């Protein structure tokens, strides 16, 4: 039983990170019908930016204020990168065929990945212990402070996002733009602003996810964005791409699925099972678990 | 037909002349190493040390009057890039290749060097490296099977572990070492409770470690590389696994301690002596020169083992008074007790380095090593 609970804790931790990153994919897709392949690399970049900010502005020392400052500054830097990315790589192609935008996204992904390599080098970088290493043993199940923080903050951010999307005027505008951009424009919604907002929120959440990866696993490499991006992307599809609660659910499910497959079946086959799950879900529910079946616009 | 033959002959003679003219200029030495990627600091160490050794040899007038020119190719630690590097270095006309760091990369490049008659020396410890019968390949470290015998002895007679778990990734080296250790422990009557494989670089090892925890091992032997080993050690602590951690030789890297953080203390690592523990004058002089030139210590013993391979090659050519690689290989296959930086060098006819000097270290609180068993 304690093994089961331990795997549950492991799965929820990694699932929270997947969910945070998946939100970036799903929000951009919801409004722009575009898979932002560069998102995973922005996540990787955020880990490096966070490390840079920490070592250059704060040197050492681990207080809660420094941790908060690093998170905020990194989120701001990455959000600026996200807005810049949209302006340069996606906006000029908004009326172009959808494939052009996808190619542009793949290109942006390579530019960011190689940019990280040029700036910080190809070596493995080690993340400092920004958060103290504290462990609690709850009758055989060991949970660390960092795991609790990751789960708690991810949950808070996701609830805040949900309230923002469902209850505020801006959120209503975002939902309207995702249903029909032209109609939204006719109703006086500035769709360009909506898209910028989407990129700011999506990349900031991704930045938090990237910092969590750095804090939890400590070793960061310039090409790690691909691995996490792929998993988060699958999570977004499983939950129903374009659907915000779907991305949260998909991330958590994928994290748990990964942990249980690796823990009870074989870690060798974890990736194969992930893709099998994706295929099975797409066969039976092509729009994902929470995705709604929308009639194709003619 | 005749014209074709004549053309061919003239081309051949031309290329022969061109070859000799070139050969009189410089002796080209290739370095195939992971300059970038996860194992970058090891690869850069090999490159730095080879260049330093070339400088030292050139200062003494070179090899048979020829200056050494070092050509580096970055294999990124991947088999695909290693095969490309091999072709590239052969095309550039190298006589010998130092590297690569990983067995996988050394193995992917072996056949190309063999066909071109280029000498290759690698620290790769995978037993398969010397099983292909390539006369061009010389292992400058000791094979996995030698390490496995030591590990089995250490586990069963010194530590008396009752329940042993073994982890590895899928690389030729790690999988080979894990299999060798499994065999050696079983032959010595030890009890293996688990043998699991991880995906190198996947970072999240908690699911598999949780599963290992349920098997209650006394020790987890990690046969992979330091970039995973450090994380495995840290995540073991985080999961409250009380078992000892014993890392194979590829965990011997400063980044292991950084990745594991506070959890590094108490971890064991099996390897041949670390650079600073080498008692030989040759080693002390070379380390001093390395520190003066690069302002740091070599990342690990692998750097020095590779340089020793290069020194043996140069020694063979100088003794033969001939740069021919086949003659050098014939000489090396019977080489006995040539003084090296990492101890005396002898090769077996299959290209294996003879002997073994493994030790078990424990990492101390300040990150230094303490010898526990040898």
DSSP code string of chain A: -HHHHHHHHHHHHHHHHHHHHHHHHHHHHHHH----TTHHHHHHHHHHHHHHHIIIII-S---HHHHHHHHHHHHHHHHHHHHHHIIIIIGGGTTS-HHHHHHHHHHHHHHHHHHHHHHH-SS-EE---SS---EEEETTEEEEHHHHHHHHHHHHHHHHHHHHHHHSHHHHHHHHHHH-HHHHHHTT--HHHHHHHHHHHHHHHHHHHHHHHHHHH-EE-TTHHHHHHHHHHHHHHHH-TT-HHHHHHHHHHHHHHHHHIIIII-GGGHHHHHHHHHHHHHHH-TT-SS----PPP-
Residues of A in contact with B201 (CB under 8 A): 221, 227
Determine how β-strand B192-197 pairs with β-strand B137-139: unpaired
**pLDDT score for B7:** 53
Q: How confident is the model at residue B19 (pLDDT cuts 50, 70, 90)?
A: very low
| The pLDDT of residue A293 | 58
Identify whether the C-beta of residue B335 lies closer than 8 Å to the C-beta of residue B316.
Answer: yes
Cβ pair B207, B197 in contact under 8 A: no
B258 in contact with A at a CB cutoff of 8 Å? yes
Least confident of A5-9, A134-138, A203-207, B224-228: A134-138
Task: Flag whether pLDDT at B309 surpasses 90.
Answer: yes
Poorest-confidence range of A174-178, A184-188, A263-267, B344-348? A263-267
Residue matched to tokens 């490390």: A51
- φ, ψ of residue B28 in degrees (nearest 5): -85, 130
Q: Environment class of residue A87 by beta-carbon count within 10 Å: exposed (0-12), middle (13-18) or buried (19+)? A: middle
pLDDT for B21: 43
Chain segment A208-233, per-residue pLDDT in tens: 999 999 998 888 988 889 889 999 99
Which residue of A15, A120, A142, A225 is the best one to mutate when testing the B interface, meaning the one whose CB has the most B CBs within 10 A?
A142
Of A148, A156, A153, A201, nearest to A30 (Cα)?
Answer: A201
- Asked if the Cβ–Cβ distance from B40 to A133 is below 8 Å, we say no
Please give the residue that has the higher pLDDT: either B72 or B238.
B72
Predicted local confidence at residue B202, as pLDDT:
81
Which residues does A contribute to its contact with B (CB < 8 Å)? 3, 6-7, 10-11, 13-14, 117, 121-124, 126, 129, 133, 135, 137, 142, 144, 213, 217-219, 221, 224, 227, 258-264, 267-268, 270-271
CB atoms within 10 A of CB B32: 32
Which of A7, A142, A224 lies closest to B207 in CB terms? A7
Domains in chain B, start-ordered, CATH in brackets?
Answer: 2-142+279-332 (3.40.50.2300), 144-271+358-373 (3.40.50.2300)
DSSP state letter for B143: -
In this predicted structure, the answer to whether residue B10 has a pLDDT above a threshold of 70 is no
Q: Please, which residues have CB within 8 angstroms of residue A50's CB and are 6 or more apart in sequence?
A: A70, A71, A74, A127, A207, A210, A211, A214
* A81-102 pLDDT, tens digit each: 999 999 999 999 988 888 899 9
Do B257 and B264 form a contact (C-beta atoms < 8 A)? yes
Does the pLDDT value for residue B25 go beyond 80? no
CA nearest A225: which of A47, A33, A35? A47
C-beta atoms of A6 and B210 within 8 A: yes
For A222, the closest chain B residue by CA position comes to B37
- Residue B43, min C-alpha distance to chain A (Å): 11
Does the beta-carbon distance from B199 to A268 stay under 8 Å? yes
Measured between CB atoms, which of A218, A261, A264 is closest to B231?
A218
Contacts of A8 in chain B (CB under 8 A): none
pTM over the 0.90 mark: no
Taking CB atoms and an 8 Å limit, are B239 and A142 in contact across chains? yes
Residue A131 binned pLDDT confidence (cut-offs 50, 70, 90): confident
Residue A294 has pLDDT above 60, yes or no: no
* ipTM over cut 0.90: no
Whether the per-residue pLDDT at A241 is higher than 60: the answer is yes
Angle between helices B206-214 and A2-32 (to 10 degrees): 160
User: Residue B98 above 90 pLDDT?
Assistant: yes
Does A2 score more than 60 pLDDT?
A: yes
* Structure confidence at residue B69 (pLDDT): 94
Contacts of A133 in chain B (CB under 8 A): 238, 261-262
CB atoms near residue A62 (< 10 Å): 13
Mean pLDDT in residue range B91-100: 93
- So what's the pLDDT on residue A298? 46
**Entry field: residues in chain A:** 298
What is the H or E stretch that residue B321 is in?
A: none
Distance from CA of A227 to the nearest CA of B (A): 8
Q: Note the pLDDT of residue A43.
A: 95
Half-sphere exposure of B92 (CA within 13 A, CB side): 21
- pLDDT reported for residue A107: 94
SS3 B135: coil
**pLDDT higher than threshold 70 for residue A296:** no
Average pLDDT over residues A107-133: 87
A142·B230 Cβ contact <8 A:
no
Q: If you average pLDDT over residues A127-154, what whole number do you get?
A: 86
Question: Token match 């172009």: residue?
Answer: A96
- The 10s digit of each residue's pLDDT in A272-290 is 888 898 899 889 888 888 8
Cα–Cα distance, B72 to A246 (Å, whole number): 49
Give contacts of B213 with chain A, Cβ < 8 Å: 3, 6
Mean pLDDT, residues B274-294 taken together:
89
**What is the percent of chain A with per-residue pLDDT over 70, rounded to a whole number?**
97
Q: How many residues does chain B have?
A: 374
Show which of residues 141-170 on chain B sit within 8 Å of chain A, judged by CB atoms.
170
Closest to A127 (Cα-Cα) out of A229, A47, A225, A40: A47
Query: Is B213 in contact with A137 (Cβ distance < 8 A)?
Result: no
- Give the tens place of pLDDT for each residue, A149-166: 999 999 999 999 999 999
Residue B3 has pLDDT above 60, yes or no: no
Q: How far is A78 from chain B (nearest CA, A)?
A: 23
Instruction: Say whether pLDDT at B196 is over 50.
Output: yes
Rg (CA), chain A: 19
CA-to-CA dists, residue B219 to A128, A187, A228, B222, B247, angstroms:
28, 67, 31, 10, 10
Query: Are A263 and B227 inside 8 Å of each other by CB?
Result: no
The CA distance from B85 to the nearest CA of chain A, in Å, is: 18
* B139 Cα to chain A: minimum distance (Å): 26
Q: Does the pLDDT value for residue A297 go beyond 90?
A: no
Q: Could you say which of B37, B214, B230 has the minimum Cβ distance to residue A122?
A: B37
CB-CB under 8 Å, A267 with B208: yes
Q: What's the rounded Cα separation, in Å, for the pair B213 and A144?
A: 17
- Residues of chain B in contact with residue A142, where contact means CB-CB under 8 angstroms, are 238-240
Nearest to A124 among B38, B199, B206 (CB): B38
Average pLDDT of chain B?
88
Domains of chain A plus CATH, in order, are 2-284 (1.10.3470)
pLDDT for position B344: 86
Give the separation between CA B180 and CA B157, rounded to whole angstroms. Answer: 18
Contact flag A135-B240 (C-beta cutoff 8 Å)? yes
Q: Pick the residue with more confidence: B373 or B129?
A: B129
Cβ pair B245, B233 in contact under 8 A: yes
Name the residue among A14, A117, A260 with its Cβ closest to that of B204: A14
């Amino acid at each position: 039983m304690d093994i089961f609970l331990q795997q549950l804790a492991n799965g929820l931790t990694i699932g929270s990170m997947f969910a945070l990153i998946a939100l970036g994919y799903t929000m951009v897709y919801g409004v722009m019908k575009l898979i932002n392949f560069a998102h995973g690399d922005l996540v990787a970049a955020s880990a490096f930016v966070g490390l840079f900010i920490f070592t250059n502005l704060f040197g050492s020392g681990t207080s809660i204020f420094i941790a908060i400052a690093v998170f905020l500054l990194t989120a701001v830097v990455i959000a600026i990168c996200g807005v810049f990315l949209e302006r340069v790589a996606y906006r000029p192609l908004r009326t172009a065929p959808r494939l052009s935008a996808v190619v542009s996204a793949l290109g942006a992904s390579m530019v960011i990945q190689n940019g990280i390599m040029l700036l910080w080098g190809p070596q493995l970088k080690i993340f400092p212990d920004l958060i103290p290493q504290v462990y609690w043993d709850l009758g055989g199940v060991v949970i660390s402070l960092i795991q609790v923080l990751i789960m708690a903050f991810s949950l808070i951010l996701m609830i805040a996002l949900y309230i923002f999307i469902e209850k505020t005027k801006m959120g209503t505008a975002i939902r309207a733009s995702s249903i029909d951009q032209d109609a939204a424009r006719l109703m006086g919604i500035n769709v360009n602003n909506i898209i910028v907002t989407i990129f700011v929120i999506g990349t900031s959440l991704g930045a938090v996810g990237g910092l969590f990866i750095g804090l939890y696993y400590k070793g960061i490499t310039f090409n790690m964005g691909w691995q996490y991006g792929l998993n988060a992307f699958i999570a977004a599809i499983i939950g129903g791409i374009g659907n915000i609660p779907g991305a949260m659910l998909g991330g958590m499910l994928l994290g748990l699925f990964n942990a249980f497959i690796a823990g009870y079946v074989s870690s060798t086959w974890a990736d194969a099972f992930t893709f099998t799950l994706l295929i099975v879900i797409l066969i039976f529910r092509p729009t994902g678990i929470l995705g709604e079946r929308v009639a194709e616009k003619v | 037909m005749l014209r074709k033959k004549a053309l061919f002959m003239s081309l051949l003679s031309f290329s022969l002349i061109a070859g000799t003219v070139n050969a009189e200029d410089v002796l080209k030495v290739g370095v195939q190493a992971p300059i970038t990627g996860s194992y970058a600091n090891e690869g850069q160490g090999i490159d730095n040390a080879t260049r330093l050794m070339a400088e030292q040899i050139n200062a003494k007038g070179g090899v048979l009057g020829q200056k050494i020119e070092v050509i580096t190719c970055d294999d990124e630690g991947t088999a695909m890039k290693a095969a490309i590097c091999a072709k590239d270095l052969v095309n550039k006309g190298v006589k010998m290749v130092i590297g690569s760091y990983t067995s996988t990369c050394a193995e992917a490049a072996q056949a190309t060097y063999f066909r071109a008659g280029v000498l290759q020396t690698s620290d790769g410890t995978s037993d398969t490296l010397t099983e292909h019968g390539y006369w061009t390949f010389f292992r400058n470290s000791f094979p996995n099977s030698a390490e496995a015998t030591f590990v089995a002895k250490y586990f069963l007679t010194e530590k008396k572990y009752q329940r042993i778990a073994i982890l590895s990734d899928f690389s030729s080296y790690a999988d080979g070492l894990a299999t060798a250790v499994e065999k050696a422990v079983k032959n010595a009557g030890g009890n293996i409770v688990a043998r699991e494989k991880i995906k190198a670089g996947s970072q999240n090892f908690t699911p598999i470690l949780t599963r290992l925890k349920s098997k209650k091992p006394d020790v987890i032997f990690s046969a992979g590389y330091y970039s995973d080993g450090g994380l495995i050690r840290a995540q073991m602590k985080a999961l409250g696994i009380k078992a000892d951690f014993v890392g194979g030789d590829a965990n011997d890297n400063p980044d292991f301690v950084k990745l594991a953080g506070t959890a590094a203390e108490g971890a064991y690592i099996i390897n041949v002596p670390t650079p600073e523990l080498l008692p030989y004058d040759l080693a002390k002089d070379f380390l001093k020169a390395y520190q003066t030139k690069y302002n740091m210590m070599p990342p690990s013993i692998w750097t020095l083992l590779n340089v020793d391979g290069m020194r043996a090659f140069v020694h063979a050519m100088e003794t033969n008074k001939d740069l021919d690689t086949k003659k050098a290989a014939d000489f090396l296959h019977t080489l006995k007790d040539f003084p090296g930086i990492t101890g005396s060098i002898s090769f077996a006819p299959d290209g294996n380095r003879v002997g073994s000097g493994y030790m078990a270290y424990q990492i101390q609180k300040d990150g230094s090593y303490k010898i526990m068993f040898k």
